[in-house]
Structure 1
């Protein structure tokens, strides 16, 4: 007994006519009759009552029609899912991200995934910089976005786009984009920043900014979470420097002042990951990153 015989049986159980069924399944009537007879002999049951004028399902045939119809539908569904997995349009992906992209790049990417790969389940993880590569190397994450390229040689990374850092001050602060001249003007302000003692590329970028302006900030509060920093700045507890994409949050009570220094966003994944689903997602990643490159160019040209 094979799946094709079951499909012949199911078609005949609908038509109840050997001639019509043989035309639908593209075999001769005698060949169809042999297939049904072989199926009955293997099962040891009579599936159809045949007369010269009619074909009728037996009680055993009715039982098997109901069970086998569901079975064939399940098999077809499994085959379809297997094909979608092969094509990278079905499955799950785990994506790590920094807080700075949750207001712009990340939701735009998720919209593209929803529109183009609707059967893909997405798990979002917001790890610290320290655990990013660990999660990738231990197969707990499939794709990561962060502010530095991959270090481990088994990882692959690509720079998606660069954006300006921004000085973030309370809305009531005397500084704005028009009268701002130098970060040195804020050397006596209280800063809310990521811990400048961390050995990450992002923190190195922050330290380089302060070195360029030749002062060490008075770090009043340390936090690695941008949303927390924005909230504290809005309450007048200090000022901060973050990637400019936080401006997409449109949080009230704060002002963004564009700085000339840049922060880059990288995509990172395992070199040995040949899953077609990842390839499809990366195609969308590049589409979205091109949009944000254009947005950054517009910001620079208008400044």
Structure 2
């Protein structure tokens, strides 16, 4: 039994048609049939019920389809990671990041990477549904910048810096650095406080500490959209100071009495020297800012 035979099986299990499958996997229909038969004979399991018109998975075939689909994905991820380790400086690394660093820190850091590792290809992802921890453990990213430390025995984390969270209001708003009294009367555009995200928990604890139940009129996790809405006078928000670098007109940032960090996270015992070099460059970049 080979990995390739399993991949042929998975495509056929999805298509349930030998001709369509042979087209997708670039082998002849007769070769595909022989590969599937060889797999069945080795396993001593009938995977498909066949007649002249139809192909149907057996119950045993359905079970193996469910089990093998995930295993093959994991196998392919491991191979890709090994290829990246082998490629070295001329290879590819993936980086995930929170939207708040997209306006200053990340572009400036990428400029440093371009100078120090000119042959390195970088894949950038701003996760929405998947979190940084899962992406790291599934080998779908190599380095994750995040607002909270990832607490996992298989992941290393280091804080790069701390910054204030800020009240974000229209430029002509009555609030100033000296007074923000009356927050309970304002309309807020913020992350949903019912969510389990780190920044939602930061907001919840801040409002709780102030004894305020915010009047939330719009919920959003996208800082760029939030700032745009604030600039139109629709409401006010609370965001990390980094968003000030977006330089949106008609908006001012008022620093609050709470800070959040920016962490860099990577897999423990990382064998890709390029990833380790990028981590070192990030630490030096922050020190020199």
Structure 1 length as normaliser, TM-score? 0.65
Tell me if the contact between 1:169 and 1:254 (Cα under 8 Å) persists in the aligned partners. yes
Tell me if the contact between 1:88 and 1:280 (Cα under 8 Å) persists in the aligned partners. no
- Cα distance per residue 1:221-245 (max 9 Å; x no partner): 0111100100010111100000001
Q: Which runs of 5+ in 2 are unaligned?
A: 1-83
C-alpha distance in structure 1 between counterparts of 2:85 and 2:142, whole Å: 15
Report the equivalent of 2:4: none
| Partner SS state of residue 267, structure 1 | strand
Matched ranges for 1:187-202 at <5 A = 187-202=184-199
- Cα distance per residue 1:31-80 (max 9 Å; x no partner): xxxxxxxxxxxxxxxxxxxxxxxxxxxxxxxxxxxxxxxxxxxxxxxxxx
Report the equivalent of 1:225: 222
The alpha carbon displacement at 1:151 in A equals 2.4
Report the equivalent of 2:209: 212
Report the equivalent of 2:109: 109
Q: Of residues 265, 268, 272 in structure 1, which corresponds to 2:265?
A: 268
C-alpha distance in structure 2 between counterparts of 1:87 and 1:126, whole Å: 25
- Cα distance per residue 1:161-216 (max 9 Å; x no partner): 10011100011211122x32x4x521110101111111122221111111121111
The alpha carbon displacement at 1:107 in A equals 0.7
Alpha-carbon distance change, 190 to 205 in structure 1, aligned in 2, over 3 angstroms: same
Alpha-carbon distance change, 129 to 155 in structure 1, aligned in 2, over 3 angstroms: farther
- Select the structure of larger CA radius of gyration: 1
Report the equivalent of 1:242: 239
Tell me if the contact between 2:183 and 2:212 (Cα under 8 Å) persists in the aligned partners. no
The alpha carbon displacement at 1:140 in A equals 0.8
Report the equivalent of 1:34: none
C-alpha distance in structure 1 between counterparts of 2:282 and 2:245, whole Å: 18
C-alpha distance in structure 1 between counterparts of 2:120 and 2:100, whole Å: 24
Report the equivalent of 2:118: 118
Tell me if the contact between 1:160 and 1:267 (Cα under 8 Å) persists in the aligned partners. yes
| Matched pairs, number | 206
Tell me if the contact between 1:105 and 1:289 (Cα under 8 Å) persists in the aligned partners. no
Residue 146 of structure 2 corresponds to residue 149 of structure 1: no
